[in-house]
Each structure stands twice: as C-alpha cells, then as structure tokens.
Amino acid sequence: MSGTTSFEPRTGSVAGTIAETTNEELTRILELARSAATLLAASPPTERSAWLQAVAEALEKPVAELVEIADRETALGAQRLTGEVARAAGQLRFYADVAAEGSYLDVTIDDATVTSPRLVRVNRPLGPVAVFGASNFPFAFGLLGNDTASAIASGCPVIAKAHPAHVLLCERLAELATTALASAPAPEGTFAMVAGYEAGASLVQADVVAAVAFTGSQIGGLALWRMANDRSTVIPVYAEMATVNPVIVTRGAASDMATVAAGFVGSFTLGAGQFCTKPGLLFAPRGSRAAELVGDALVAAQPRPVMLTQGIASAFNGGLGELIDAGAEVVRSVPGVDAGWSVSATVLRVPINSLRVGSRFLEECFGPVALIAEYDDVAELRAALLELPGSLAASVIVDDDDDPDSGEIIDLVSGSVGRVIVNDWPTGVAFTWAQQHGGPWPATSNPTATSVGAAALRRFVRPIAFQSVPDNRLPAEAQASNPWRLPRRINGTLAPGT
C-alpha cells in the first residue's frame, strides 16, 4: 500500500506517513457522499448548523495536541497555530449561523398573475464538494477550513483531500470531524477525507462530485480547473490561486515612510510570506526612500523564514532568481537559518515602467519577498495600476481621510481586486457578513465568488424555480407556510424570516 509522507520543515526529516486512499475506498466514499447529498439537501439549515457547532467544539478540545502536530509539519509556530485553531472553530460557528439565518437560500415567491404562473425560486445544494485545502493555513483554510465549513453549511457533503504537507494533522482532523458529525448526528457521508494524488484526481473526475473548492498555487488550481473543464459534465471550480496584492503609498502618506516600511515588512514576512494575502508589490513616491527604508526594516526584523515544504522553498528560490534575472535589483536580503527549508527574506526594487502585462514582476512569488516600485507622479502610478492582474486584495496607505490622491487610487485598484484596504495590511481576513476573499483571474477562477464570509455558501448552491408546483410537493424551504422561517422575497418585496 502506498502512502503520503510529510516532513518537518525545520529539519527536513520525515514527520509521518498516512495510507493513500485505494480505489475501493474511494468508491465507497463517493457512494456515501451520494446518499448523504439527498439527506443534507432535505435537512433544515438549523440542523446543519448544529453539526458544524459540534465540529467546532471537537476542534477546541485537543488544541495543544493539534498545535503540536501542526507545528511539527508546518513550522508555523505554536502561537500562530493556536490562534488559527480558534479561528477555524469560529469560522465553523459563523457558517453555522449563516446557514441558520437562511438568506443564502434566496427564497423568492411570485404569485400567479393574469400573465404569469406561480413561481417559487430557491437555492438548492449542488451536491458533494471536493475540497483541496491550503498548505499555509492548516486549520483555517485546511481540511476543516472555510471551504468545508461553508459547503456543509449550504447542504453539500464534503470529500476533502489530505494536504501532503501536513498529513498527520489531516488524519487527526478527519477523525475529530467524523466522530463529531456522527454523534451530532449528521448523516454518514457528510464528510470524508481522501489521501494521495490519484484519489484527488479521481475525485475531480467523479460523476457524483458537483463542485470543487481549492486554495493554493496557480499550478495546482489550474490543473484542477482544467480537469473539471475536461469532464463530460463540467462542474464549477472555485480556485483561489495566484495574487500579487499591491500596496500603494500616496504622496501624502510618504512623509512617515519608516513606519510604513516597518508595517509592510511585518506583513510580507508574516508566516514566512506564505499568505495568499501577502503584499507583494509596493508603490511609493520617488524620493520617499521606500526601498531603502523597507530594506532597513527587513534587516531590523531578521525574520529567518522557514518554508512549509521543500517544494515551496525551491519554488521560492527559483522565483527569486527569475525576478532578479528579469531585472529586479536586490535592495536587501536577510539569510535564513542553515537548516531544513529556510530561505532568505528579500526586498527587490523594480523600475515602474517595467510593470506591464506579461512581466514576471506581476506574477506571484509565494514567500518572503516584495518588490518596490517608485512613481514620479499620479499619472505614472495610474498607468502602472491599470496593468495589474487580478489580486485578492490591495492596500492603500493614505495621509488622512482627505488625502487628495486616495479617491482615484482606491477606485483604480478596486477594478482589479476583491478587497481594498485603507491604512492597514492585506494579511488578516475577517470572517464576517461583508467579507470578500476573491478577485478577478488569476487571483481566483471565478470573480463572483468568495471563499471567506457569509457569501461563501453561495458557491455551493444553485437556484431552482418551481412553476405551478403544488405546495405539498415543494421542498420545505419553498413552502408557503415557511416552516424554516426563512427571509423571503414575495412578489418583489423582502420579508424577514421570523
């Protein structure tokens, strides 16, 4: 039997191995998911909400144990990982609440008129969702992260692939979730884990799988997206992929460039720069000494980053080389430690007029590196901003609310990102009703979707209209008596749920 092995990033030694899912096991998992899909689609959101609460509780009990396993496999540190367990539990509870509230079902009723029949439109779960979690957030964007929580909340069973970088953690998380769901009790097949590349690929190709959610590299996301597009029945792929996440410092904000530089270094080296929201490109006015000050702040910070995997470390070193080959000038580089998968943290300077569509400078380099570009005036800045590819987020550092440049810059960057932040850093993604964690290609494969926040549920449902269907034959969420007490739109007017 073949297995998937994880390693300890700090030393490079083996952390552990788990068995890969066999074809027979996968067949059974898919069958269970198929059966569960029918039961989940008929379950009231309040029930699913209780299941997710049970998973959240199960996560919070063995925190020390989970953090120990995760730290061994990721080297992200106990403090950060402890916070991340709490975050993952909080997310599960948040999506539970969003499900129970029921707005995501978009219940819409048009009574019959002289010219049109009675129509009731509700969102129904798509069916089993294949989840491919991220390496860099083993709890919050991992096996039981945003994708899994929002998919189950919306009534879809989840089959999640164990991340090869933290297989021991995945195995333990799957065990916790399966036990918690069984005792909730959620139907068998509500959640399952698979392991191994083959099982992951089979999942995306399986008839019973109705959607794919992915968080990770552009190479990985594109591979799954292409695989799903090659199916005879194409299914939606929600891939969160590559993103540059620009930061723009206005002329007014450049007077305190040293403070900005320190904050920027903190953000782009956080978690060894392995954040999908890492700010990768900073624009500052020429004369602000931005590059030098960021370089100084990097030296002062001495981050000593250790990457999650050998593959990520080597991709980072390769990417850094490509950036330098493409003409980026090294401002400062702080060497890593001489063990495991440590790398140098680096600040590069690039000429602003080299930032054009197709430039290597406008592709993500995942890890602790950032590019600095200086602009002469707003016209030069504007030209560069219009060249930027889609990103998850952009930060605009302004002087005050009346900074004369901020309006145009916010408007410009909002054209290519999912979130615009003023006077703060893009790392840190609150899970609330108004959050948007997405963006135009190549940041994600679907600019209308979000993988964090209440709207994350909407990725996994599709609307069905019931025309002249007798009330007793409608699904519960569509019935006139509103047994689930959902917010509804009736004849064009919104009505609250209770």
Q: What angle do CA 71, 73, 78 make, to 5 degrees?
A: 5
Active site residue 170: no
Residue 1 or 492: the one with the smaller Cβ distance to its own copies is: 492
Beta-bridge mates of residue 19: 3
Catalytic one of 20, 73, 101, 240: 240
Contact 89, 59 (CB under 8 A): yes
Q: Which stretch binds its own copies (CB under 8 A): 139-147, 307-315, 333-341, 433-441?
A: 433-441
In this structure, the number of other CB atoms found within 10 A of the CB of residue 484 comes to: 18
Closest approach, Cβ 119 to its own copies, in A, equals 4
Q: Which is nearer to its own copies, 45 or 440 (CB)?
A: 440
Is residue 106 within the footprint of its own copies (CB under 8 A)? yes
Query: What Cα–Cα distance (Å) separates residue 371 from each residue in 132, 151, 320, 347, 424?
Result: 29, 36, 11, 6, 18
User: Interface with its own copies includes 103 (CB under 8 A)?
Assistant: yes
Neighbours of 380 (CB within 10 A): 16
Select 338 or 402, whichever has its Cβ closest to its own copies: 402
Q: Which residues of 417-450 are buried (b: 16+ CB within 10 A; e: fewer)?
A: bbbbbebebbbebebeeebbbbbbebbbbbeebb
Which residues between 367 and 426 bind its own copies (CB under 8 A)?
389-390, 401-402, 406-407, 410-411, 414, 417-424
Buried b / exposed e along 348-378 (16+ C-beta atoms within 10 A): bbbebebbeeeebbbbbbbbbbbbbbbbeeb
Please name which of 321, 245, 319 lies closest in space to residue 283, comparing C-alpha atoms.
Answer: 245
User: Which one of 40, 67, 92, 126 is in contact with its own copies (CB under 8 A)?
Assistant: 126
Q: Name the one range near its own copies by CB under 8 A: 67-75, 114-122, 280-288, 306-314.
A: 114-122
Q: How far is the CB of 360 from its own copies (least distance, A)?
A: 14
Q: Which of residues 302-341 bind its own copies (CB under 8 A)?
A: none
Q: How many residues bind its own copies (CB under 8 A)?
A: 78
How far apart are alpha carbons 132 and 241 in whole angstroms?
Answer: 12
Question: What minimum distance in Å lies between the beta carbon of 201 and its own copies?
Answer: 19
Residues 475-494 that bind its own copies (CB under 8 A): 475, 487, 489, 491-492, 494
Contact letters for its own copies, residues 456-475 (x by CB under 8 A):
--xx-xxxxxxxxxx-xx-x
- The rounded distance, in Å, linking the Cα atoms of 319 and 273 is 13
Would residue 408 show up in a list of annotated catalytic residues for this protein? Answer: no
Query: Does position 295 bind its own copies by CB under 8 A?
Result: no
Active site residues: 240, 276
